[in-house]
Amino acid sequence: MMKLQDMGTAEAVQTPGMPSRRKIFRMAAAGAAGLVGGMALSARVAHAEEASSAPRVAIGDRLVEDDAEGPLTPLKVEDLTVGRPLLAFALNAETGKPRTESRLNKIVLLRLPEAELDAESKALSAGGVLAFSAICTHQGCEIKTWMKSEKVFACFCHSSKFNPTKRGAVAGGPAPRSLPALPLRLEGDQLVVAGEFSSPPGSMLQG
Ligand code: FES
């Protein structure tokens, strides 16, 4: 007759055709990892679909303040204070409505003294105003802080920094790529979108 201590030993012996307990554990762990990986992949796909299907900021759009109340008034250079970021959306030139369908269309504006801009930044700016995607390229938090001492945008979710006078280049933190820059021009005294984002806005897409 088999003793109790023998049963433990017998249980540890792998039955032909049956996975061992260690193997079952590995299979369960792999399944869980696959599930998590699948969820992450789904999020990436959903994000990519949002990025590809959302109405984009278009050349010729005016800009309006993100939380403006009352009638929408296109922004002018003098609406911005030097060194104070302003969140904005593009105003669809055809419908007269802001392109708020996707947060990927959110823009952060910054007015700097024109003397501080090099030729490349000047070419992107209008009246000293520079425009960038307001969505951090790390994990998508909103960029709305200007660090005057370092002259960089800061994302306080995980401390990424971006240099607006270097086409939004990463100046610190975990962000994997630059903040997409949006060229501007002036029409009369209004700020107008003059080109496409320098790379796709958003956190998951690598531009
Ligand atoms: S989301 Fe901006 S640093 Fe992580």
How do the pLDDT tens digits run along the chain, 207 residues long?
443 333 333 333 333 344 444 444 444 444 444 443 444 444 444 455 455 556 689 999 999 999 877 788 999 999 999 999 999 999 988 888 899 989 999 999 999 999 989 999 999 999 999 999 999 999 999 999 999 999 999 999 999 999 999 999 999 999 999 999 999 999 999 999 999 999 999 986 443
Mutate to test the pocket of ligand 1, among 139, 143, 153 (most ligand atoms within 8 A of CB): 139
Does 26 sit in the ligand 1 pocket, CB within 6 Å? no
d(CA 159, ligand 1 centre) in Å: 6
d(CA 158, ligand 1 centre) in Å: 5
Does 157 sit in the ligand 1 pocket, CB within 6 Å? yes
Q: What's the whole-model pTM score? A: 0.75
CA distance 155 to 85: 13
Q: What secondary structure does DSSP assign to 125-184, as a single string?
A: -BTTEEEEESB-TTT-PBP-EEETTTTEEEETTTTEEEEGGGTTEEEESS--SPPPEE-E
Token pair 């409505």 is found at 97
Residue 157 tokens, joined = 């979710």
Residue 135 — φ and ψ, nearest 5°? -105, 120
Beta strands of 46-144 (E only): which ranges?
Answer: 62-65, 86-91, 107-111, 129-133
